[in-house]
Structure 1
Amino acid sequence: MIVKTPIMFAKRRKLMRNFLKVGFKDSLNIFVSGGCGGNGLPKFGGIGGFGGNVSVIAKEGISLDQVYKQNKSLRFIAGNGGNSSANCLRGAQGEDIKLEVPVGVSLVTELGKKLGELDKENEELIIAKGGTPGHSKNGYLGTEGQAYPVKLDLKLIADIGLVGFPNAGKSSLLSAISHAKPKVANYPFTTVRPHLGMIHYPDHRQISMADLPGLIEGAHTNRGMGHKFLKHVERTKLLLLVVDIHGFQLGPQYPFRTCLDTVLLLNKELELYKPELIDKPSLIIINKMDVEGAEEKYNQIKEDLKNLSRIDCEEDIRSEKFLKFRDILPVSVKNRAEDIALIKEKLRKQLDVIADEEANDESSLDLYQDMREKNKERGPKLV
């Protein structure tokens, strides 16, 4: 034990260094500029060419790392429009730039203005328009194109988002349930970048699941992976919490948290980051149920898990809103194959229910809008 301890600490230090230097990029700052419009020719009434546009187009399989490697200057400047001349009264249009980015990217200027987001393959968005050409109404002088820094912010799009503190078994679950091969080991911070796996069913149905870097206490304030993790939860349809029945302690400076404490802390971190996340459909997996004493511990807390609001807990881990789990699954991800089959079945069922609910909501909204339109056509009632 005396020999192993320094090695263990060295491993942890190395993991933390990797944790901070991780190559996976989920945000990237670039500079974009539309081209200047070309000048007109007053003598012959010639018109200059439009400046080129900078646009982004969503592509599967592209990463922000690739965007960076293709142009490390991160400056994307479209071509200027051609000037009008005696030989060519209409100036040539400036060359456009089309930048391929990952599906799931949102684009925001440095002043906080949202330019848009790309959630589907081949969606395209112009983010910097070229300048207008010179002509008789503007003194034949072309104008400058739009130019500003833009932040590309990637939020993974997946059906299911795995939520849990380090070492809860999320990576083991993803590995067992899908074709993803995340690193699995018995120490915190094994997952330092998101892993996306596909769950396959015999009828060819596929469900995407994202294992996201483990939270730590204070993640909402950007401690640990902080916002780097939490923002990826926003675009998932279903939250799947994974907690250890025997509780968790991140390190000596942190208090030991029981299984129930862990659930309340996860609820708190989600609420403090974005309260709307608490309204998302959610399931919870109580993991490591094959270990001695697990059944007894689970029996003590299973009723509390059905109604988190009634738990008497410390003020620092209490929330104002609470997750309402649609199902509670006590399992052993690592050692019971039948539990994996059960999880796959439950996840599919819940996603089908969510799809039906969304369809009903859209139908109700359409009906409401139709009624409003009909009422407008009838006009005000005469008294």
Structure 2
Amino acid sequence: MVFVTVSHFCKKFTKKYQLRFVDSLRLNVKGGHGGNGYPKYGGIGGQGGCVQFEANEKNSLNALAKKYRGIAIKAESGEDSSKSRILGRRGEDLKIKVPIGVTIFDENHTKIGELNEPGDTCLAAGGGIGGCSGNNFLGTKGQSHVVTLDLKLIADVGMVGFPNAGKSTLLKAISRANPKIASYPFTTLRPQIGTIGYSDYRQITVADLPGLIEGAHANIGMGHKFLKHIERTKLLLMVVDLFGFKLSAVHRLRTCIQNIYALNKELELYDNELLDRPCILLLNKIDEDGAQSEYDQIKEKILDLKSHTNDCPEELLSERYLEFDDVHVISAKNEIGIDNVKTSIRELLDKYAEKTENLSTDSNSNIKENCG
């Protein structure tokens, strides 16, 4: 009786949580078989249809997983040639809509497409050739692949930090998102997207990524699954607890400044180009007793991490260090300093967008001059 009860609970638990958030999905795709030709009249069979992926902002990998996981996705076969139709009809293509931000890999993990804008398409499996004199009038099989759809969230801002730093509370304070919030680590188990709205109707999207742990760059915990979502963001929002962080009783307590070095190390080891990304540092929980004293001890050091590595444990030393564009002390819980954060995010995004546009304009001018 106990076994049956536990089994029933597990089935309900699995059903409820197995498709909470899907950001990687393997699918079996097959192009349609080419139609057979008609040797007597030299008839040509229709080409098999192909399988394509198309980016659409309304779709999710969760929906695709429910519909296609465990089955072969096959396009329509080409029509056979006949007396009444010497040229067989082409098989209908199958176009599958996927979310924006998907990269498609084949079974050898070779990238075959990247869909970053609405309407972008990628050919996943071509259709077989119709039967003709060159192949003894026998249609050929379509291509068959096991492809992996890898989703990286596209957001203007990506929040990074260790568990329980206050990222979810901050997301709720600055946007319309309603993430789960609690006073224990790993409340956020999947990325959350929020939107900051401004009085002039400007909107900026913010992604709250689940808390990292040391070793995330080496895929410890769910490191790569979470870190990959930072790659498409334009601005990093690093959230750190002023009183430090201790994952569990068996882990050491790291101070606020040590956590900053630890996060820098994780970003460097995963992809050191992330250290070139614009970044705002948010020091959270300024409303608590002793917080101002903690901030006063580190405020000079965080402006030049490279020159104050005496506070950095040897295992966290890096070759390069983040240079913060802005630093704010906040209380996400009591919404202290939140308006300043929202203003800073907007100003930095505009500043770097203008800088990128100017670089692009200068580059195009140089090309014209060289060609002229």
TM category (shorter chain) comes to over 0.9
Residue 315 in 1 paired to residue 305 in 2?
A: no
| Displacement of 1:21 | 5.8
Match of 1:248 in 2: 245
Range 217-226 or range 136-145, more displaced: 136-145
**Contact 2:29-2:146 within 8 A present in 1 as well:** yes
What is the aligned residue count?
A: 356
| Displacement of 1:234 | 0.2
Select 1:117's aligned residue among 114, 120, 142: 114
**Contact 1:29-1:74 within 8 A present in 2 as well:** no
* Amino acid aligned to 1:322: Y
* Amino acid aligned to 1:340: I
CA–CA distance in 2 between the matches of 1:152 and 1:31? 11
Matches within 5 A, 1:1-383: 23-310=20-307, 311-312=309-310, 313-337=312-336, 339-374=337-372
Q: Deviations over 1:189-232 (max 9, x none)?
A: 00001100010001000000000111011111111221110000
TM-score, normalized by length of structure 1? 0.89
Structure 2 SS opposite 1:325: coil
Structure 1 SS opposite 2:349: helix
| Displacement of 1:129 | 1.0
CA–CA distance in 1 between the matches of 2:18 and 2:214? 21
**Contact 2:258-2:313 within 8 A present in 1 as well:** no
| Displacement of 1:373 | 2.3
TM-score, normalized by length of structure 2? 0.92
Structure 1 SS opposite 2:244: coil
* Amino acid aligned to 2:180: K
| Displacement of 1:360 | 1.1
| Displacement of 1:38 | 1.5
**Contact 2:168-2:180 within 8 A present in 1 as well:** yes
* Amino acid aligned to 2:131: G
Q: Deviations over 1:331-370 (max 9, x none)?
A: 1121144x11111111000010111011012112212322
Structure 2 residue runs without a partner (length 5+): 1-13
Structure 1 SS opposite 2:149: strand
Q: Deviations over 1:52-71 (max 9, x none)?
A: 11011112232211101122
**Contact 2:173-2:335 within 8 A present in 1 as well:** no
RMSD over aligned Cα atoms: 1.7
The 4+ residue runs of structure 1 with deviation greater than 4 A are: none
